Amino acid sequence: MELSEYVQRGFQTLADPGSFDSNAFALLLRAAFQSLLDARADEAALDHPGLKHIDPVVLKHCHAAAATYILEAGKHRVDKSTLSTYLEDCKFDQDRIEIFCTEYQNNKNSLETLLGSIGRALPHVTDVSWRLEYQIKTNQLHKMYRPGYLVTLNVENSDSQSHPEIIFSCSMEQLQDLVGKLKDASKSLERATQL
Amino acid sequence: MLLDLSEEHKEHLAFLPQVDSAVVAEFGRIAVEFLRRGSNPKIYEGAARKLNVSSDTIQHGVEGLTYLLTESSKLMISELDFQDSVFVLGFPEELNRLLLQLYLDNRKEIRTILNELTPRLPSYHSLEWRLDVQLASRSLRQQIKPAVTLKLHLDQNGDHSTHLLQTDPATLLHLVQQLEQALEEMKTSHCRRVVRSIK
């Protein structure tokens, strides 16, 4: 894990009891996690009275450093010992290391979910609806007398918020073919997960 | 149900008894070929020269025959109704039998061709699938994220389109379940009753 000098300096300041007393440290840490994970968190996360006495520039620096480190740690899925080692190197005392690790452990799942959801993917199928009809006649052909299906696939695009639909018609045989192939795929999936 | 043949149509068909059965059979073959591939006026000229009549007469004869066959096929009229409809033209017995045979032989194919004229939505052609497991991304390492990639092939009016899609295992099972229900629906008593009563 490579961290820039900016981040390292910010972290060292955070470790220093002279710049951040225990209360301020805990507050800043919580603010860092909150601003990353809570979608509703607003800019005022750092506006807590317990942090008022600290120079805003320093506050922002340390907040950015903490947030950057948290993201890197989450990305690489670091374990507790790696975490502790790095914090020791930055001269954090044992209490602060404990607080950091606990906070990290509590938020680990949300963090990993968030990071996992970032990225490009193909349009994702979320649902299917179908309509069964019995075709009787058209102006070109009478006495048709056969069932037909209209299938709609609901699709979500990861980058845009659009929800396009894919609509197609098919006969009974074609639907059987489609279902057969989807069943093959799900059976393969089952077998693969059992290996 | 009898076919309603207009005077003009009857005039066009009046050419048929004037040539022998082999020619009428040939016209029938040409008529179906034109339905399959589109008409080719050069054929009319060749035939006109051979039979020593105008190419217009040939054209009308073939078109009349085509219309007779497509209308009968569209309405899916019975053998008896076809014979009765043709009877009014006053053709010799042998010609009537030939026309009936032409109808019965080509009916299925003509209906298939007519089916392609119905209002069309994109229709299912085929599906390809692939199982993937995402191991890592730029934002998160050491993942195990299974996904199913699908390539859906659709046809519309001869245009082929493909859609590349993805889904997760849970949704895949859901899709299978929903579509199986759709197939089952045709077997319910309600649907069977409807199918039985519409004839």
Q: How far is A58 from chain B (nearest CA, A)?
A: 27
Q: How far apart are CA A145 and CA B195, in angstroms?
A: 8
Contacts of A2 in chain B (CB under 8 A): none
Contacts of B171 in chain A (CB under 8 A): 125-127
Most confident of A79-83, B12-16, B26-30: A79-83
Q: How far are the Cα atoms of A11, A48, A51, A179 from residue A43, in angstroms, in the given order?
A: 21, 11, 14, 50
Return the CA Rg of chain A.
27
Q: Is the Cβ of A164 closer than 8 Å to some Cβ of chain B?
A: no
Burial class (CB in 10 A: 0-12, 13-18, 19+), B147: buried
* B61-78 pLDDT, tens digit each: 888 889 999 999 999 999
Burial class (CB in 10 A: 0-12, 13-18, 19+), A24: buried
* A135-166 pLDDT, tens digit each: 998 888 888 888 999 999 999 887 777 778 99
Q: Is the Cβ of B183 closer than 8 Å to some Cβ of chain A?
A: yes
Which range among A179-193, B48-62, B118-132 shows the weakest confidence by mean pLDDT? B48-62
Q: How far are the Cα atoms of A8, A121, A186 from residue B129, in angstroms, in the given order?
A: 47, 16, 10
Side chain identity, residue A60: K
List for chain B the helix, strand, coil content (%; round to 5): 60, 15, 25
CB atoms inside a 10 Å sphere around CB B188: 11
Q: pLDDT-derived band of residue A42, with 50, 70 and 90 as boundaries?
A: low
Q: Helical H runs in B38-119? A: 41-51, 55-75, 79-87, 93-115
- Residue from A36, A124, A186 to probe the interface with B (highest B Cβ count within 10 Å): A186
The better pLDDT of the pair B179, A141 is held by B179
Query: What's the whole-model pTM score?
Result: 0.74
Percent of chain A with pLDDT over 70: 96
Taking alpha carbons only, the member of A118, A96, A72 closest to residue A16 is: A96
Please say if the pLDDT value at position B156 is more than 70.
yes
* A158-178 pLDDT, tens digit each: 777 777 899 999 999 999 999
- The minimal CB distance from B165 to the residues A125, A142, A144 is found for A125
In the prediction, which pLDDT does A41 show?
A: 67
Return the sign of the alpha-carbon dihedral for residues B47, B49, B53, B56. positive
Q: What is the mean pLDDT of residues B33-54?
A: 83
Question: Which tokens belong to B175?
Answer: 């899709």
Q: pLDDT-derived band of residue A104, with 50, 70 and 90 as boundaries?
A: very high
- The minimal CB distance from B176 to the residues A124, A144, A186 is found for A186
In the prediction, which pLDDT does A64 show?
A: 92
Q: What is the mean pLDDT of residues A115-121?
A: 86
Please say if the pLDDT value at position B199 is more than 80.
no
In the prediction, which pLDDT does A16 show?
A: 86
Q: pLDDT-derived band of residue A186, with 50, 70 and 90 as boundaries?
A: very high
Q: What is the ipTM of this complex?
A: 0.77
Q: pLDDT-derived band of residue B55, with 50, 70 and 90 as boundaries?
A: confident
Q: What is the mean pLDDT of residues B45-64?
A: 84
In the prediction, which pLDDT does A43 show?
A: 63
Q: How far apart are CA A160 and CA B25, in angstroms?
A: 62
Residues whose CB falls within 8 Å of the CB of residue B119, separated by 6 or more in sequence, listed in order: A138
Between residues 102 and 141 of chain B, which touch chain A (CB distance below 8 Å)? 111, 114-115, 117-124, 126-129, 131, 137-141
Contact B182 A115 (CB under 8 A): no
